[in-house]
Structures are given as C-alpha cells and as structure tokens.
Chain A
C-alpha cells in the first residue's frame, strides 16, 4: 500500500491555501477513489491549528474534519495485533491516523467516550506492536480509552454496537474478549491487578510481560499508591504506563472553562515535564557518570541514581521512593519514541517495576475535541465534520440538575452548607454549585474514601457537608461511611446519584446496592424521592437533619414533569412519613424511590381490567412509616414492595417489620419486587428495566399471578 496516485492535483492545492471555504463535497472526492489515494493527503484537512473561538461559529469557517469516513486501507488488513508485527514505522504512523479516524466515526454514530480514546491512539498502536497480546497482558485503567484497543483486537466490525444492548461494553470486559485481561470501570485498579498478574506469572514460572496503563487522574486515588508501594516491595517485573494529559477531573472543565489541576500531584507531574533549570546540572552529573563508567558498573549506577534523585525533580523521586524505575517524560504521540522505549524495556531481562511517564493530549487529532473545554470526554452522537452533538431536547431536566439547583437554594439560606465530590463536577451537577459558591465546593480528586472522612471532619466543626458521590462509587468508601460517619453519628448528608440501573455504562456503574448497604446502618436516615419535586423536599429534609447522618438516592435520567417548589426551595418532610398516591382495594403497591412511577403505570394498566390498586410512596426506608405499613397490611390482601435495588434493601426491611409486628400471621401476603440476583448488562434504560423485570407490565403481571389470574398475566406480558 505504497501507491499514492496524485490524480487530483487541483484539489491538493486548494487544501493548502489558508481559509479555503471547503465544501463537504471536497472530502468526498477523496473517499470515492478509495484505493488510489494516499491517506496522508487527508492530513491536510486538520493538521493546521486554528486560533480558538472568536465570535464566528466553527461551522461558518467550513468543516474542519471529514464528513465521510475516509478509506482505511491499512487498518482494513489488521484484525488482530499479530497482523501488525511486520509494519514499518511509517506504516505504524499511518495506522495510527486511520485508527484515529475510525474511532471518531464510530463514536459519532453511537456516542461514547471520545477524548480519552483519541489521546491514546499512538500508545495503543505502539503497545500492540511491541507486545504480544493476549499472552502479554495489557490492562487499561477505567477502560473508557480502550476503543482503539478493541478495534485492533478483533472487534472492529462490532464497534457500531458499543454501549448498546447486547453489544460491546464501553469498558474492558473479560468475558468479551481474551485481549481484555481485566474488567475495569472504576478507576485506579490496574496497577493492583497488574501486580497480581505479574506475581501469578512468577509463581507459575511463565515469562510474559504485564503492562498497566493508568491516567494521571486515576493516580490521585490511594489504591494506585498502595499498589505501587507493594510493587516496589515485591520487585516483580511489570510496566506501569502513566498516561498524563493533565486532566484530573471529569468532565475536564467546569462551566466557565478548563479545570486547573486538582491537588498537588498534578503540579509535581508538570514539574517533571519541564525540568529546564536543572538540566545543566544534570549534564554535569552525566559527565561524571561517564568518566566513572567502565569496569565500575555498580558505582556508576549508584552515582547515576544519586544524580537522578538530586535533579530529577520531586516528582520522579516519588515514584523512585516507591520502588519503581522512572522513565520519562515521553511524548505520547510520537510512535518512534514509544516503540523504542517499549522495545528497550521489554528486552531488558530483569527490570523490576518500571514506570513510563507518557504525556498525551486528550482529544488529539480531532480539532473540535482539542479546542473544547471538556475535550469531548463523553459525547452523544455527533456530526464528524462539524463536531456538533445531536442532543435531544427533553421537556424536563435531569435529576442531577435538579439536585444541584435544590442544593444551591438551600445553600443560599444556610451558610454552613458545603458540597463535596470526587472528581465528578459535571456528573454530579456540582459545577453549577461551584459557579455559585466557589469557596464552598470541594473537589478532592478520585478519592471517595477521603471525601467521606473529609466530610466527617467538616461535620465535626459544625459545617453541613453534602457528599455527592455516585451510588456505585460510594462502595469504595463504605468503611469510612460506617466507621467514620455512622458509628460516631456525624451529620453527613450523602447524595447518591446514578442509583439503580444506569443504561449504557452497564454493571460497572450500576447503583443497585446502596439501599442495602445504607439501610443496615444503625444511625442512618435513608430516603428516596419518587419524582423531582420530592427530590427538592428531600434535599431540604437532609439539610434539616442535624443530629445523625442521612442519605438519599436518585437515578440517572430526567424528571417526569411535576411542578417544582417555588424558587427551588423544598420544604422538609416529616422524617418517617410516607404518602398514599392512589386509593384502591385488595392489592397495595408500596414503592420506594422512582419505582413508584412504575407502580403508577402498573395501576393504570390494571384499571382497564377493572382492578384498582392502592399505590403508596414509602419515601423513607429508615425509619419506616410503620403506621402506613400497618394500615396497608390490615386493609389489603396483598402487599407488594417495589424498589430498584438488590435484595436486602427496602423490601427486606418492610418484611422484617411486618414479621416482628405480627402482620404476616394472618391472611396478608407480602411479595417483593427487586433487581434480580445477577448483573444486568449495559443497554438502553428501557431494555435494562425489562431485563430486570421492573417495568409497569411486569408489576401488573406479578399482581395478576398472585391473584391467580395467570391468563391476564400472560396477556399483559405479550
């Protein structure tokens, strides 16, 4: 594939003149003559950097990228990494370009994580070229940058299904492919897992390589240090690649612009990158080493080590002190450098743990991503030529936004309210809070454990902290919740976003366990809003509960469209009081959280069959509204508890109470509806809910089944 037919010289000239108003048909000329054109010509489109946004929108200046998928002749020949082994460096570069455009066009069709994948294209190519997956283990931390890896390891034809029901996972997954050696989704786990794989290899007497790729954001988590500390001690051969793109928080911007790095580690890393003033001293040290060299290997090595320690800047000594040999910084977009270094490290026999500090740029290669403040970290479907995302207009806003507004309204009135999050300013909506109260919003980096204990410390001083962490990420901080907050009865408020099933992110981000693990704690108040107005009231309730910890959970997705309280200020609810939404007979549905909406849907389905159900919103799992449960149990034959959580949650607490209170000794039947005892795979929210069996139809069918009307049950389900 070395043929470059210059069949369109006129067009080439047009491309090189600046400010050419390029029409979309121009790029299609390239795509039509597929095999004849040298793909390097396409670089002319986007290699020039334009100055950032003046008033004129980008589309007025003409599209800065292809609108059609460009031909990828080299990538078409690569199905597995083994097909890459005979490529020359020039071909590797071409492969990287084709891979990049492939990623962009795939993500433009499906949505997903774009910026991070673009930043590691060259690194992925270099890794697969030098190492022999799957015998050599390559681990990708978090996994959202693994799109190029998936394309190169036999899943290119399935990329159009990524993050969809029955499609590829958006993160690495062991059951999907043998090239994904470890499942990721939460961050900072790869060094630990990689060390485990390295030690396992040593115990079994094998000799493959283990490479763990981790980002600078994930480095802010404690587990990365625990792992490096252990790696340094055990001294097993492994390679850690620190992918440094200076984006420590997500999204990598707040509402007003790029986020400056959070924490001291980032400045240490950037000092590593720019060591200029000490360079001369280093030259001297090198000269001394050279002189000493020759037969005195050990002494020379010692001198070199001291020299490096002296002048390597405080950052490299951090890794060196932990016992990893530091190499870098390295330009992460230069394939020659990467291949040279990786080959060298691979060929060295006994290295112990090595850390290669690679500097990349998030969103590299796609002009719109490079310029965007959030570097197109996570995008919906978009148009590749203009970078415009297709965001559907919903009539209501997300629960996340409502939460942020509610918290702002509370904080206006109460000066002691502060918000804490762990590197998720955008995902938790706290960027809005940050903009309104810049000194009262704390981003601690990816450190949930620290966030919880930090909140506990704040609460000791009379501050009212709202710890806003995704339900599934709070799992990390469970001991801190139990020991530091609940045991001491400190009034920390936990706002658990993404509770229940979360859609495309899949089981790694699914918040199914929070009712279970929060409601079993003795001092915790556990509540869940059934709609956005209730969310406002519960934020106010949590703000008012000042003598014990409290938590509330809300799902991903948009509100249902109820009226919001005036000026976004909720009214505290009486703790331990539920409410009845629909009065009926014989069967009562007691819902917890947004499952109440599914219950209402089921009730309306049953109306057409002549049955009227009672629907109640429990609001509190702890303390339970005992009077409500007693009255429901006494006046109905059947009580069904519904929640979008695992076993051991709301339903179990109701059952426990009913059993102890003697309510199950008569003719009352109790049935629970919970998430099934298996992980629900990623897909669209409706598909997931159907898979879990919690749709209104499923609830109605359950009622029919209990009533003995199995025919109607089947009818509803089909």
Chain B
C-alpha cells in the first residue's frame, strides 16, 4: 500500500513445475488462504488493483480448484502463475488454456514470467492479455538482439563487418542510427552495448 503501485500482485506460494508430490497441492491451498489475507489487509482497494494468482502446478484438478476459488473472490484481475519454469511447452500451453477458459471474460489475464515472443503469441491466442519477462533485457546484456527472423547474436564475428542496422524494418533509434558492426564492438563489453541492445529489444517487444 505504501509503494502505491496501480496493480499489486497477491502474495502466493509458488512451486517449480518440475516437482511432484503433495507440495503442489499445499502451495495451491495456501495461495487461496493468502488471497483472503491480502484482501483483508488491503487498505486502498479503490486506488490499487489486487490481482490474484492461479497456482496448482501442471495438475488440471488443482488448477481448477484454484481458478474457481479466485473467481469467487471477484478480484479486478487475475494472473496465471507458476509457469515459465522448466516445464515442456505442451504442458505449459494446456495449463494456460485451461485457466483462460475458466477466468472471466471482462477482466485482464496476466501470464507471469512470459516470455519468449512465440510464447506470447501462443498465450495471446489463448486469451491472455498481460505479460512480464526479463528476457528482452537479459538477452540484450548477452549481446543478443530480437528480430522478426528470431535472434541476432551481435557478439558473433560475422557481425563485425555488417553495416546493416540490427533490423532494417525496425524504427527504433538504435536501428535508425547504428550498424551491427558498431554494436558488435559494444556487445557484452561495454555498458553502452547493454543499453542500446536493451532499447531495441524492448522496442521490438512493444511493437
């Protein structure tokens, strides 16, 4: 409440999707208990939107209980959590699909920790609305730029003499001003490399 963010995520109990056993169920029920405690403690419900987070691992039964529990609380928005770990994609999208099918149509759905451009496209097709991910900036710091064709490893020697911009179709200031060859000099070696490639990657994601 003191930080004053417009959207505040409930405190949930997250477990890795790669684990098995009763811990997953424990985390799901705990998440439901904690959402009630968050709601009770929330002193600014008219200024700050408390989003609940659906947990339950990869188990459809647990996920179903959690979704229904959160929907009953009539929150301003809902997140699908506990994914974006090491699970295989076929399990991942099935959980997202199940949750989006069960969440109300007129409230935002936020898939936490997603992600790679392809994952965002898939989740959007399944009815998700909001995403967050360190990927664009983290991969920038490792010298990788995001382009329509996939990724461009600017650190690679092949970039050293390439005078084209990172992405000729991109309208960001980095692509308007700089060549791959120059960014290659900076990538992973200079703070400026991180800054410029991060800028392009974020622009790309927003586009």
Are A and B interaction partners?
A: no
Q: Which residues of A contact B (CB under 8 A)?
A: none
Q: Which residues of B contact A (CB under 8 A)?
A: none
